[in-house]
Amino acid sequence: MNSGVIIYQVALDVPLRRLFDYLPIKNDTNILPKGTRVKVPFGRSHRIGIIMGQQAHSAFTPEQLKAIDSVCDNAPLFPEELCEFIEKTAQYYHHPIGEVAFTGVPLAIRLGKPCESLTKNDETIFPNEALTLHADQQNAVDLILSKQDEFAPFLLEGITGSGKTEVYLQVASAILQRQKQVLILVPEISLTPQTQERFIARFGEVTCFHSRMTPKQRLQAWLKVRYQQTRIIIGTRSAIFLPFANLGLIVIDEEHDASFKQQEGFRYLARDVAVLRAKRIQCPIILGSATPSFETIHNAQTGKYHWLRLPVRATSATLPEMILMDIRHNKLEAGLSNALIKEIEDSLKKNQQVLLFINRRGFSPTFMCYGCGWLAECERCDCRLTFHYKKQMLICHHCLHQRPEPNECPKCQATELHPVGQGTERLESFLQIRFPDVSMARIDSDSTRKKGSLEELLEKAKSKEAQLLIGTQMLAKGHHFPHLGMVAIVDADGGLFSVDFRSIERMAQLIIQVAGRAGRVHEAGRVIIQTFHPDEPLLQHILHQDYAELAKELLVERQRSALPPFSHLALIRASANNPHLPETLLKEVQQALQSTSQGQVSILGPVPAPMLKRQGQYRYQLLVQARERKPLHQLLHYSTIFLEKSKLGKKVRWSLDVDPIEMF
């Protein structure tokens, strides 16, 4: 109906896929622009919302509509471009627009506290002298800068140590000279200080944005971005939603990294969202990696992205020697063969720094009774408890449930209980006994819980204060260890037999990234890969550091199987403490979607999740697959309408994951 007055459409941070209609403030004739924060009545309470638009019509009568209570700021805090970007992102992921709008927003802004402009500073960036580029780097810089006034996505594929960061720095310098802002996205907080150091050394001033900052620090960073009081921003995935006023370049470092995907709530992939924002702003975006995701490689192969390559290291250092170590008939101690222990010993005698990589934290992943075969399992999840020796606890790494190490078997009362398998803690314990005079550092999520502990351990690694390093994938992500001479992959077989079609891609990325830490400065490094499957062809590609050939083979397999990037996926997940409810709900969804799919979309399931029970919830999932995005999204739109109206949907926790990168 035509109400004859302005009706504001307001985004509220609630789990509903819609905007809410409100009348103007009583007796106020001012028109409120898009992006304005307002306080509005909602049910029996009041909430802070963002004006996303206005219209002259509403499905409700003027008598049914409530008026805005008050305006929080003198001018819009959210730029119009950001509001439109939020709308497009919410539409693509079929997620409540209010939750998207408040992604990464500091608490003070969520609560409606006054947030006016900071005192204007006259920040002037004086770039320090840049390094001399080799020919491939110079070519990359020139091509990117030739597109600086338009949307242009670039895949910058460079082997580890090839100088990708220097390309970022020199492109950023040219963008900054035009008074524009630059955003650098990194996958992990642990990489933020390292990247920050490089940019501060070059430009003198950088603003960071990530979850380990205090609320006050996040608010200051958010406002500095909004009012253009900072021009270089380094952040993790939520930084893509910052209120840039004049963004001229986006860089995604280690673009292949799964940490760019938000796995709970609003399940967005920051890499893809960043490409969308660059397109809307019309600025270049660089996706950098030594091991690009297959989706990005496919986009480069089909001409959607410009493909830039850095095939040689920027320094005189050569690529490390790769050695495949067959351990099929070897006795292992803490997962290490005698041959590998001897290699470690020889490297330490040469005063080389050594890194042992194993992607499992804790002492051992299994705790069992030798008498009856009982295994310690989590009561709330379908998984085994991990034994942590220092805590003398059995801990579930999924729900964090923990209980003390038992003295006897609860099944047969035997006392022959033993940890089976190895993690970082067990490896550290063994090596401390084997090499008592060698300084060590274990770097995993257990050893870095305290504030500042990660930075302290990384500094020990960089300075060689710790000669023997033990760590998980935290050490694989772009860190620079100048003294590292040898890297050992303790268990290379984990990704070969997973049910996830991306497991081999991820395993290759992880091994090559870890290997790339070796021999970056002083001498050629060595990488030793322990495996029970030395004849596996895919491992041979990794051995020869031929990621391109591996990607070529696996992309052919994916095309034959109609898997991404040759099709598009979405997962509808449902969970409840009653095992029958989620399966029943997804059967209803499957039947409803099947009648409307018209054969363009495949609907597979429902099936139990690979881990059926997690955190006390029974989980089922429905896989929706299509070769084209349009019919897929039409069906997903219908599915959210169906689920929101379903009575059973109100009893079951459900979620929609567009472009899932994990099938668990």
Four-CA torsion 95, 99, 103, 106, nearest 10 degrees: 180
- Kindly list the structural domains of the chain, giving each domain's residue range(s) and its CATH number in brackets, ordered by start: 2-110 (3.40.1440.60), 135-310 (3.40.50.300), 321-363+422-557 (3.40.50.300), 568-658 (3.30.70.600)
Residue 534 pLDDT? 86
Residue % of the chain over a pLDDT of 70: 95
Q: Can you read off the two tokens belonging to residue 527?
A: 């990488």
**What is the distance between the alpha carbons of residues 65 and 76, in angstroms, rounded to a whole number?**
23
pLDDT of 649 above 70: yes
- Let me know: does 431 contact 460? Beta carbons within 8 Å: no
Neighbour count for residue 235 (Cβ, 10 Å): 26
What confidence tier does 232 reach under pLDDT thresholds 50, 70, 90?
very high
Residue 509 pLDDT? 86
Residue 271 pLDDT? 97
Q: What are the beta bridge partners of residue 443?
A: 471
pLDDT of 547 above 50: yes
pLDDT in tens, 396-419: 988 988 899 898 898 899 888 888
For residues 198-216, average pLDDT: 89
For residues 427-434, average pLDDT: 91
**What is the distance between the alpha carbons of residues 617 and 499, in angstroms, rounded to a whole number?**
21
What confidence tier does 316 reach under pLDDT thresholds 50, 70, 90?
low
User: Which of 36, 28, 24 has the alpha carbon at shortest distance from 80?
Assistant: 36
Instruction: Please state, rounded to an integer, the average pLDDT across all residues of the chain.
Output: 88
**What is the distance between the alpha carbons of residues 588 and 641, in angstroms, rounded to a whole number?**
13
pLDDT in tens, 69-108: 999 988 899 999 999 999 999 999 999 999 999 999 999 9
What confidence tier does 460 reach under pLDDT thresholds 50, 70, 90?
confident
For residues 369-385, average pLDDT: 90
What confidence tier does 317 reach under pLDDT thresholds 50, 70, 90?
low
Q: Can you read off the two tokens belonging to residue 44?
A: 């029996």
Residue 314 pLDDT? 67
Say which DSSP state 24 is in.
P
For 104, left (φ over 0), alpha (ψ -120 to 50), or beta? left
Residue 1 pLDDT? 43
pLDDT of 275 above 50: yes
pLDDT in tens, 613-636: 998 899 999 999 999 999 999 999
**What is the distance between the alpha carbons of residues 271 and 208, in angstroms, rounded to a whole number?**
18
For residues 637-646, average pLDDT: 92
For residues 144-171, average pLDDT: 92
What confidence tier does 4 reach under pLDDT thresholds 50, 70, 90?
low
**What is the distance between the alpha carbons of residues 7 and 61, in angstroms, rounded to a whole number?**
11
pLDDT of 206 above 60: yes
For residues 499-528, average pLDDT: 78
Residue 520 pLDDT? 54
Residue 570 pLDDT? 96
Residue 116 pLDDT? 66
Residue 2 pLDDT? 44
pLDDT of 501 above 90: no
Backbone angles phi, psi at 461, to 5 degrees: -70, -45
pLDDT of 444 above 60: yes
pLDDT in tens, 320-376: 788 888 888 888 888 899 999 999 999 899 888 899 988 888 888 889 998 898 999
pTM of the complete model beyond 0.85: yes
**What is the distance between the alpha carbons of residues 53 and 28, in angstroms, rounded to a whole number?**
17
